Amino acid sequence: MRLSRLFARTLREDPAEAEAPSHRLLLRAAFVRKLMAGVYTTMPLGMRTMHKIEAIVRREMDGAGAQELRVPITLPAEPWKRTGRWDAYGEELFRLQDRHGRDMLLGPTHEEVMAELVEVEFPSYKDLPVNVYQIEWKYRDELRPRYGLLRGREFLMKDAYSFDRDEDGMRESYRIMYEAYERVFDRCGLDYVIVEADPGTIGGGVNHEFMALADVGEDLFVRCENGDYMADTEAATPQAPPAVDPGSAPMIEVATPGAATIEAVAAQLGISAETTLKTMMYKAGEQIVVVLVPGDREVNEKKLGRLYFPTRVERFEEADFAQRGFAKGFVGPQGLGDEVTVLADHSVRGGADWVTGANREDLHVTGANVVRDFRVDRYEDLAQIREGDRCPSDGGELQIGRSIVVGHIYQLGLKYSQPLEANYLDEDGTQKLYVMGSYGIGISRIMAAVAEQFHDEDGLKWPKALAPYEVAVILANLDDEKVTAEAERIYADLQARGVESVLDDRSDRAGVKFADADLIGYPVQVTVGKRGIEAGTVDLKLRATGERSTAPIGAAVDAAIALLAAAP
């Protein structure tokens, strides 16, 4: 490609709207342009990188025995109504009607359609297992689109669906996908971790997230310093601290006027927050649930919710306290009746002689101890995990990192085949439900995630597997015939050798071309200019490291190819 013809105009300044590095640089380098919030035009450079990601994904999916097909984006609402997702999916679903008033939607994911398709085409146990996938734009009216391509309302996704006769089969299909996913992300050059994730509303049992490490990541994960344990922060279970004996201090009431928060109590009494006991009030249906955590910790409400699922757990509202006779800000677990369930996080076992609310306005107690002074019905894992907590497998220190979820795989089991009544005919002549798995990869998100991981202050630094072009031939002096001829020859030779190249033949000054080459992030730059030609050399630069070298003009192509081979 001649850059004089490339449909791409780089921006000299950072767009005001972009905050995240990937968003900023993909806009500046003309890979994408925004149409509206969370919806982006993919420009020619972006297309090339996206195609390369797709090619990697296709290769690995095909290699794993999955078969590509494509179901429509425009979907009938009917199957969605049958699975209940027409209502359950909520505002995130892009809904529309055709001229006859029939409900339709833009596909956010395709379990329904795929399951129905497989049921029609592959109705026999002899057909199984089967795994089908597609690479298609997905539509989700996100609450908050963010960070450009990292959370779009329209995004390119590979989604695969496996159908097996039984659980064992599903687990095998899952394993095969798991390994294919590792190869995909390895080939994309991503620094990532695989964590066991919160099953969330997708349901099913086992599921794993593939998380690319990035400072702007929206998802937190914990990792043991010894590297043997990783989990989503929502799913992570730290090792409980060693239990200590109850303290011996007498329980005494102390005046704490106006101190309705842990901080205020700690400040008034001159103690640290961790010696206080935080008493959180919840409603699980009609049931009142009290959750105890040390004062310096937060309750993980997702974990709490899971304990009572499907009953919804809600935090007490202002009115609930008065209505049920609790002094908001001064609640303690002492003297609670049997109608109240008292749950405590495991970490509560590690403390004694607590300072906690006295259940009266402006009053706290010191020296509160379990059993003697209050009751704990059950110890559960209920606290928000934090840095420095202990690894459940070896007691190492847990660290928290940020990441971008680029892949998520689920063992769905019967979750979708059941409501859809998606059956196959088994050997014994009975109808049985398909045991499903589903597997997603965010293609457009990978592009952004890689940009997050591979950039510097000058621009993008694509791994060669994803770069829109591998080598940029920079024509430094357009007015010099010899220089031009050499650059043209090198460019032609590179192409003849199968190297994806651009020739920067624009009438700009060399400085502009260098800056753009760095911004766009071609792995290798070859500069052909008057200065070098006189000495019989060209200059090469490896974008990844900034390393520069020279090569004789005659060996320029070989040198560029060798440098490319050495590039990450």
Minimum CB separation from RNA for residue 338, in Å?
31
Minimum CB separation from RNA for residue 353, in Å?
32
Q: Please choose, from the candidates 289, 251, 255, 252, the residue with its C-alpha nearest in 3D space to the C-alpha of residue 361.
A: 255
> Please, which residue, 43 or 538, has the CB nearer to RNA?
538
Minimum CB separation from RNA for residue 528, in Å?
6
> Please, which residue, 109 or 366, has the CB nearer to RNA?
109
Minimum CB separation from RNA for residue 430, in Å?
32
**Which two tokens mark 332?**
């303690």
Give the DSSP H or E segment for 49.
Answer: helix 44-63
Per residue, what are the HEC states of 103-146?
A: EEEECCCCHHHHHHHHHHHCCEHHHCCEEEEEEEEEECCCCCCE
Q: Which residues, in sequence order, are CB contacts of 518 under 8 Å at separation 6+? A: 458, 459, 543
> Please, which residue, 109 or 256, has the CB nearer to RNA?
109
**Which two tokens mark 1?**
């490609």
E-strand stretches of 148-266: 154-164, 192-196, 207-213, 219-224, 230-232, 252-255
How many beta carbons lie within 10 A of that of residue 227, not counting itself?
11
> Please, which residue, 171 or 402, has the CB nearer to RNA?
402
Distances (CA, A) of 559 to 203, 498, 555: 53, 15, 6
Minimum CB separation from RNA for residue 74, in Å?
19
Minimum CB separation from RNA for residue 399, in Å?
18
> Please, which residue, 262 or 478, has the CB nearer to RNA?
478
> Please, which residue, 92 or 121, has the CB nearer to RNA?
92
Q: Which residues, in sequence order, are CB contacts of 223 under 8 Å at separation 6+? A: 193, 229, 230, 398, 399, 400, 401
> Please, which residue, 6 or 266, has the CB nearer to RNA?
6
> Please, which residue, 251 or 519, has the CB nearer to RNA?
519
Q: Please give the biggest Cα pair distance in the chain.
A: 95
Minimum CB separation from RNA for residue 283, in Å?
17
Minimum CB separation from RNA for residue 310, in Å?
14
Cis peptide before 294, with omega less than 30 degrees from 0? no
